[in-house]
Amino acid sequence: MKYDTISSTFNHRITRFIRSESFSAIWLLAPSWAGFSLFYLIPFGQSVLNSFRDRMGGGFTLSNYEDLLLSSSFQKAASNTFWFTAISVPILVAVSFLLALLLNQRVFIRNWLRTSYVLPLVVPVASIVLVWQVLFDWNGALNLVLQYFDLDRQDWMKSEWAGFVIVLVYIWKNIGYNVILFLAGLQNIPKQYYEIANLEGAGPARKLFGITLTYLTPTTFLVVLMSVLNSFKVFRETYLVAGAYPHDRIYMMQHYMNNMFLSLDIQKVSSAAVLMALCIMVLVFVLFRMERIFRSYME
């Protein structure tokens, strides 16, 4: 009798769990979680193990990380990636915000601008890179313009200007998505706040910092986070424009890992991937921490 009561209670709880929203959510997320585990989580775990594995197939060691940190190629790639993110992300966020403010107003070029910033999201990168090559090639359109004004031509992709070109490509590719996020945040701000500010005689600067930026805080942190993550994906554009061994100024972490993979140096590839993942996790943690602190301060 006691066994039947326990079995009935257990079956009743199982039935309630199956009918609950939690079970439905788990059932719907199971295919995505399986794919994420198979193609991302398990390979990354294998990379972590390989990063601590000896080259000769022996035990675990830290020599892979020591060799990686002492490598001049890795130091150059890490430095270029850091400076690229530090320079391009603030510029992208600022330009996206200003463009969103412009598109949120009634201007005569608003429809044209809306079309232009959406184009990079739908056009394949490989085809557009050909346009950038035509623009910045030695015999490209930009050098023809310089020659027309009796200025010296520049070898854009084989000089210090290469970093400037990649920043432009990165901004052009990612600005549309950020503008959409900022526009959504701007349109969610109640107009009554601006009307009250106008009645109180608040100027444009006070409304910008006191209302717009304050209520755009969650959106801004999301835009910054997405921009930082996308800055680590610039390898595709750089590789298509400049090849596997570009100018030293645009030799990124992805170039280093790609070249180590082609040379079958799995330990270095794994160590670089683990360090890059740790850096991204630290950046994400810092951004979320800053958002919480700012929200608690505003409350």
pLDDT in tens, 171-193: 888 888 898 889 888 888 888 88
179 and 83 share one domain:
yes
Instruction: Tell me which DSSP letter residue 53 carries.
Output: B
126 and 10 share one domain:
no
At 95, the pLDDT band (50, 70, 90 cuts) reads very high
For residue 66, tell me if it sits in a domain.
Answer: no
At 57, the pLDDT band (50, 70, 90 cuts) reads low
Residue 297 confidence (pLDDT) above 80: no
Number of H helices, E strands in the chain: 16, 0
Question: Domain range holding 31?
Answer: 1-51
Helix (H, G, I), strand (E, B) or coil at 60: strand
Q: Which residues contact 55 (CB under 8 A, 6 or more apart)?
A: 64, 267
Helix (H, G, I), strand (E, B) or coil at 299: coil
Q: What pLDDT is attached to residue 2?
A: 45
Give the helix, strand, coil percentages of the chain, each rounded to 5: 80, 0, 20
191 and 84 share one domain:
yes
Q: What's the whole-model pTM score? A: 0.79
In this structure, of 20-24, 78-82, 201-205, 288-292, the range with the lowest mean pLDDT score is: 20-24
Residue written as token pair 């490989």: 126
Mean pLDDT of 92-119: 77
Strands (E), the chain: none
Residue 14 confidence (pLDDT) above 70: no
Q: 141-148 and 125-136 are packed helices; what angle lies between their axes, rounded to 10 degrees?
A: 20
For residue 62, tell me if it sits in a domain.
Answer: no
Residue 101 confidence (pLDDT) above 50: yes
Radius of gyration in angstroms for the set of CA atoms belonging to the chain, rounded to a whole number: 26
Q: What is the CATH number of the domain that holds 124?
A: 1.10.3720.10
Instruction: Report the number of distinct structural domains present in the chain.
Output: 2
170 and 292 share one domain:
yes
d(Cα 271, Cα 251) in Å, to the nearest integer? 18
∠ at Cα 97 (90, 168), nearest 5°?
50
For residue 271, tell me if it sits in a domain.
Answer: yes
Which phi-psi region, left, alpha or beta, contains residue 235 (left: φ > 0; alpha: ψ -120 to 50)? alpha
Percent pLDDT > 70 in the chain is: 84
Q: What pLDDT is attached to residue 1?
A: 47
Helix (H, G, I), strand (E, B) or coil at 287: helix
37 and 77 share one domain:
no
For residue 166, tell me if it sits in a domain.
Answer: yes
Contact 174, 119 (CB under 8 A): no
Q: Which residues pair with 60 in a beta bridge?
A: 53
Q: What pLDDT is attached to residue 258?
A: 83
Q: What pLDDT is attached to residue 93?
A: 93
DSSP 73-119: HHHHHHHHHHHHHHHHHHHHHHHHHHHHHHHTS--TTHHHHHHHHHH
Q: 253-262 and 72-103 are packed helices; what angle lies between their axes, rounded to 10 degrees?
A: 130
167 and 264 share one domain:
yes
Residue 94 confidence (pLDDT) above 90: yes
What is the rounded average pLDDT for all residues in the chain?
Answer: 80
244 and 142 share one domain:
yes
Q: What pLDDT is attached to residue 166?
A: 87
Residue 43 confidence (pLDDT) above 90: no
